[in-house]
Structure formats: C-alpha cells, structure tokens
Structure 1
Amino acid sequence: MTHNPPSIDDILASPTATAMPPAAPPDGVVLRDRFQAYANMFKVFAIKPGERVAFLTDPRLDRRVVEAISGIARANGASVREFMWPSTRITEIPEVTRPLLAESEFVVSTWFASTVCPFANKLRKETGQRWVKITYFRDLDLLDTPQARFPVDLVGEIVRATARAYPRDTGFDMRFTDPRGTDLTIAFTPEMTAALLGISRWRGLNTATEPGCYVHYLPTHGPNLYGRTAHGRDPKAFAKMEGVVFPQWAVGFPKPFTDEIAVEFKDDFVTSVHGNSLDAEAMREYLIGGRLQELGCGHNPKAPRYQVYPAGPNSPGALHFGINALKESAYLRRAIPDWEEPHIHMDLVTFDSTVKLGNTTLIDNGFLMSLRDEKVIGEAARYGDPVDLLEAYAI
C-alpha cells in the first residue's frame, strides 16, 4: 500500500502542530516581569523622605494608579495631597491649585498644562520642583506590559545616542521624507540645537531625580526632535520651516487614512490642508493657522508600534507632529469628547519617515538608527539579547 505524504492542510489540521513556544508565559515569568516593572517604577518615582507630593488628577484616572504612587511616597516618609480637576485638557494651572503646587517638591500630573503652563515651568526652573507626567500610566494594569518592564536606563542610552546624531556648532537642515511625498525641512541654527538638547530629557534622564526635571511615566515618550524648547519657549520665536507632511494617521480618527491628506507648513505654522476626504475636511476646519508645538519620536522599543491614542505612537522612529490650533475641533469634540488633550491639539502620525540631520540619517524608513549605536547595544547586552530588546517591536 502506497503511503500518502502529509499535505499542508493535514499539518495545519493537527491540534499539536506548532513551531512556536506557548503564547502565555509561565506564572513564574509573569511574576519576574512584574517585579522588573516595579523596579523601573521605583526608579522613576524617586520621592525623598519628608517631601510633599502633589497629585494633579482627573476623574477618569484609574484610582489604583494614585494609590500605588502614594504607597511609594508613604514608604519613603513623604506626604501626599491631591487636587482633581474635571478634565486633563486644561492649559493653565488654575489659581486655586497654585498654593498647593508652590508648597510641593514633587508633582505627579495628568494635566496638559504640565508642560505648556508658564507657572509650572517657572516652578521647575526656580524651585527645582520635580514632575512626572503620567499620560501613559492611566491604568495600573499597564505594569504588566513590555514597555513597563523595558529597562529605564536603556531608554536613556537610546535618547543619548539620538542626541549624539545632532550636528553641533553648525547649522543644518532637518529634513523629513516618506514614500507618500512628505518633504518638510526645518533649518536648525547652532543656538536652536544647543537649546533643544540642553534639557535634562535629552541627557537621557527618565527618573525624577534631578532638580527641575520633567519626565514621563511610563518612560516611552522620548524628547521632541523639534519643539518650543529649541527657542527657549519664546512664544515669538520660530524656525525657518517649509514643506508638506502626508500623515498616515492621526489621533481621533478610527482608521489610518486611505485617501491622501497633505498638511503644509511655513515657519512653524500650518498654511493649508489638502485632500478631498471627510478626514481632510475635519482637519482643514480648524488646523489652518495652527502651530507646530512638538515633533515627537518614541524611544521605547517595546511601546506598541501602532498605538496612536492618546498622544501619538511611542515606538522608536514613529513620529507625531503635535499642532496647537487657534480653535477647538468640532470633529474631535464629537469623536473623542473625553480625550486627555485639549481639542485644539492634533497629533499627525507617520510610521515610515526618513529623517536626515544634514548628511546624517537619524531615522531610516521609520527605523531609529540610534538603536544600532554601539553604546546602546552594549547597554542592552546587560539586560538580555540586544536584538530582542531593541529590534523586536511590540505590535
């Protein structure tokens, strides 16, 4: 009798057919991973004995997050006070809150005002107040994610490698291109570069240890490739910028764009929005005249690659162009009424940009080149397999 060899269908029909390890890790590994995330968390929330910790929160924040951080504070002999506002979207610290803040050494905040409000910036600069923004830690269960346990010090090394790619003491063009036709150029002066890289986050500081620091937790949102800090937050200063961006997606839109949308910039400002789709019309309705506030790039390789909500992707090489418009978007108020950011904001997203700093390639088709920096690879080897840690993106 002739034996019939198995077909692909026969193999696939087998209940034991597999060439991959089990998807669910053993309980012991889950426990190990959780404690690794805890260790990162304790590093970031470096609360000192006797300090006064202020929470600036909102009703939609997971209460377990507040209690967890409060536990760290209590373990270090610090006191905790909380001020809850109805929404995270406020852009100015309310007057009623300012005395509480002025008496605090450590601040944990969900508010958009954390970075844009002059009062908050003044407290950090003049008193050394330390801030942790928890936009990316609104749910305690995030401690069980790969990005939570990714070594916080390794994120810092990736950031420092990115900083080393910037030319110093000379002007250069930062140019963005992609297969859809994006072509945007920002002319950097030596003074802009020095100001941009002069903040603690560009030194790879992701723990709230230095006076005046402002860090994110979870540590995924890297420092901005370009933003208002390049001008010392001078509201009258702007960059020589010209070109067009064809975003692939944006916060508040359910699916990536299938019809082309082109957003034109001139000297920091949006001058026009091209496209015939309803999505393009929603942007055109409020973005023209808006200003590019931040050009963000993720620096945590385990941050989900295509997670755009709430403030753009945090995977290395994925970009978000953060714009503040002159008025609120009616579309966003309908689509995401409880968004954590104000409805004047918009994060345009690309996953496949190539970014050059003069003749240096910073990002190649969406891949952040600093992930292959020798110092980064050496640091990654302390924690595991560098290829797995740095290039096995979380999808």
Structure 2
Amino acid sequence: MSMPELATDPLVGLPPALNPEVTHTKNYFAALENFQRTFAFGQGDKVLLLTDPLLDTRVADAVMGLARARGATVRQYMESSSQITEVPEAVKALVAEADFVVSTWFCSIFDPYFIARRAAGQRWVKITYFRDLDLLHTPQARFPAELVGEIIRATATRYPAGRDFTVRFADARGSDFSIDYTPAMRELLLAHNRWRGKMFADEPGCYVHYLPTHGPNLWDRTAHRNDSTAPVTMSGTLYPQWAVGFAKPFTERIGCRFESDTIVEVTGEGSDAAILREMLVGGRLIELGCGFNPKAPRHTIYPAGSNAPGALHFGIDLARPSEYILRTMPQWEEPPVHMDLVTLDSTVTVDGQPLIEGGFLSALRDPAVRAAAAKFGNPIELLETAI
C-alpha cells in the first residue's frame, strides 16, 4: 500500500512565534523592574557617573532620571575611553564625595583607590553590559535578577567550607587545569555581595553588574586580599574554544600552559595560535569568570566572554599591549593589555563533585533554585531554555 502524500501546505509541528506586540510591553516593564531595583538610589545620595564617549547617552539619561526622581543628585565625568587602567588623580576628589558610583571604566574592579572607597561603604554598579538602552528589550534584561542570585548562591555551596579543596577544569579538547583553594581563600572570595547572591546595589560597599548577567568569578585576586604578589597554586593546560576579538571559534587545538597564574607556553601551528602566542606568553590570569543568567546568549562572547550559565572566560592581563587587539578592536571596552579566553563546554569539578558538566551549570537543577524559579513561572523554561 502506498503512503499518502503529504499536504502541500507548510508543515507546522511547533507553536508559532508570538507577535512581539503581544509581549513587548509586559517584557519591557519586567526589565524596568530589574533596572530600578539594581540602581538603588536613595534620597540625598550623591551619584557619580564615570563614563566614556561611546556610551549610549540614553543610558546615562536613564540613570540620571531615576536618580533625580528619588531625590539623589548626579554628576558625570567622561574620560576619553573606557579602557583606562587606573583612576586619574583629577577624578579622585569627585569619587571621594560620591555615595554611589556608576561606571563603564575597565579599572573599576581592581583600582586600589576604588577598592578603598567601597571598603568605606561606597556602592557601585558596573555597566559593561548596559552600553545601549535597547538592551532593556532583551531576555537577559528581564530575567529575574533575584533568581540569578539564587543560582549564584547554589553554586557557592559547592565550594566546601573549612578545608582545602581543588577545582579542576576539563573538556573534550584535553584541558587539564586546576586551582587549589584554602579555607581562607574560600572565605575571602565568597564574602562579597555577588557571591552572596545580592544583585542590587543596596548595601554598603557593594559592587554589582548591570545587566544582571556577569556573575562573580570562580577565582580572582579577592581570594588573596587583592595582593598581586601573593603566590597562587594553579597549573595545567587550557585549550580555549574561542577568544574575544576572533570572529569565530578556533578550528585547531590551541593550548595555553600555566605555571602558577602565568601563561608560559602557547601551542598550535595555525595563524590564530601564532597570534595568541605573541599575545599571551607572560600574561597573568586575573579572573576566571562564569556566566549565571540563563537568558544571556551563549555564543555572544563580545565584549568580555559569554554570560550564559556555565560558560567561562579566563581574563588574562598581558605582559605588553597587543598589536592584534589594537588593530582588530581599537574601540574595545577593555584595554589592549587584556584578553578573555572562552570555553563554552567545560566540565568543572570541586574535589570530584560537579560544578559545571559539559558547559551546563549544575546549580540550575538544585531543588532550591527550582523552587525559587517556580515563583516567577515555569522553572524549566526559565532555567533551561537557552538563547
């Protein structure tokens, strides 16, 4: 018996996409809720914006409008670029007077002067991922920021308290990289507001990112009291899939071998390997970042690594400025002495227990995270439907 012919009409097996007009307004107001709660200005706050000429002026206007509506005063200082690596002397007096700082500058997180101001209670929002007001219309902008915090807290519980432990990184390309932690390192790293899942700039000394995508680092110098000379017990070889400033993932296996926090060798025969070898040898790892927002696009790694859950970026401070970066990304938000290596499929274990499995962040399936997600909608859709 012959099979019946299929109808000539287009085949439809899945529900059609909704007309954007049906969801546009409600989605926009969900994003505005995150925006307003993150920028937790109070009456009488002195707000300082540290910006650059390439920032969408509507972003600064939105921040100013919210601040003024709450009775805060606002000043803005524009530097020639977001790439600056230390606070200019002329700006320190402005910073000292502020209660709340909103910044695009690269040096925001590590400049000793800024660290000291936060230690004195100054609140900070870094807006690397909010350079265009239209980002308010994206899924990651409206994903509940509180739920990002719950995912982060569930990840933090996988770092055991009160004993030494080792975090290992592996993937199908053969990466074998590890970092040893002491109890003191763990306590210093996890003490900060972002590791505690605090996503809004509403407590003294806080530092948060907006959009709520770039989570806290699995390792950085805060674990060593920001002492760049403190010894670091890490070693092995990383085979990154990709790096910021390269149009597509690498087609060959490129190895970056570490001794302590320094890259001492880059292997590979192709042109990308040659570029990275010239760029990276002698560079030092300063942060190992992880994504935590399930609606952040996994394969968008510009400007500083994918922020999808379980995607990793290894932030390297270079021994010298890179001519490749200067040619390829002359207006990059980060300076030509920094590079982010990216993996999207890593398996990360903590003393053998899974933290990330093949690029999937294990905490997304924790009962506490699922229960928190249920307050906002369908947990599976919220946590596992990727962009």
TM-score with structure 2 setting the length: 0.98
Partner of residue 98 from structure 1, selected from 92, 96, 103: 92
| Aligned pair partner of 2:68 in 68, 74, 79 | 74
Other structure's SS at 2:348 match: strand
* Cα offset, 1:23, TM superposition: 2.5
Deviations 1:342-361 (A, max 9, x none): 11111111111000110211
Q: What one-letter code is carried by the residue in structure 1 that aligns with 2:66?
A: I
- TM-aligned CA deviation for residue 191 of structure 1: 1.2
Map Cα deviations across residues 51-106 of structure 1 (whole Å, 9 max, x no partner).
11101111111111000111110110111111111111101011111111111101
Q: Distance in 1 between matches of 2:224 and 2:250?
A: 33
Counterpart among 223, 238, 244 of residue 245 in structure 1: 238
- Asked if structure 2 preserves the Cα contact closer than 8 Å seen for 1:302 and 1:393, the reply is yes
Structure 1: state its 5+ residue gaps: none
2:169 equivalent to 1:170: no
Distance 1:25 1:155 in 2: 28
- Between the aligned partners of 2:381 and 2:237, the Cα distance in structure 1 is 35
Partner of 2:40: 46
**Which 4+ stretches in 1 moved above 3 angstroms?**
none
| Partner SS state of residue 281, structure 1 | helix
Q: Which amino acid aligns with 1:218?
A: L
**Which of the numbers 336, 359, 372 marks the counterpart of 1:379?**
372
Match of 1:143 in 2: 136
Amino acid at match of 1:175: R
| Offset from partner CA, 1:342-389 (integer Å, 9 cap, x none) | 111111111110001102110001110000111100000000000000
* SS across alignment from 2:194: helix
Measure how far apart 1:4 and its partner are: 7.5
Structure 2 residue aligned with 1:359: 352
Percent identity over paired residues: 54
- Name 1:85's counterpart in structure 2: 79
The aligned amino acid for 1:334 is: R
Please, what TM-score do these two structures have when normalized by structure 1? 0.96
Q: CA RMSD in A?
A: 1.3
The CA deviation at 1:30 is 1.1
For 1:387, the aligned partner's letter is I
Residues 188 and 239, structure 1, Cα contact 8 Å, conserved in 2: no
CA pair 4-181 structure 1, distance change in 2 beyond 3 A? closer
Distance, in Å, in 2 between the alignment partners of 1:25 and 1:186 is: 48
Number of residues of Structure 1 aligned to a counterpart in Structure 2: 387
The CA distance in 2 between the partners of 1:151 and 1:321, in whole Å, is 26
CA contact (8 A) 1:248 1:256 kept: yes
Q: Which letter maps to 2:214? A: H
Q: Deviations over 1:262-285 (max 9, x none)?
A: 001111111111111111111111
Deviation at 1:116, TM superposition (A): 1.6
Pair 1:165–1:3, CA change in 2 (3 A): closer
Matches within 5 A, 1:224-303: 224-303=217-296
- State the Cα distance separating 1:6 from its structure 2 match: 2.2
What's 2:324 paired with?
A: 331
* Structure 2 counterpart SS, 1:50: coil
| Amino acid across the alignment from 1:306 | H
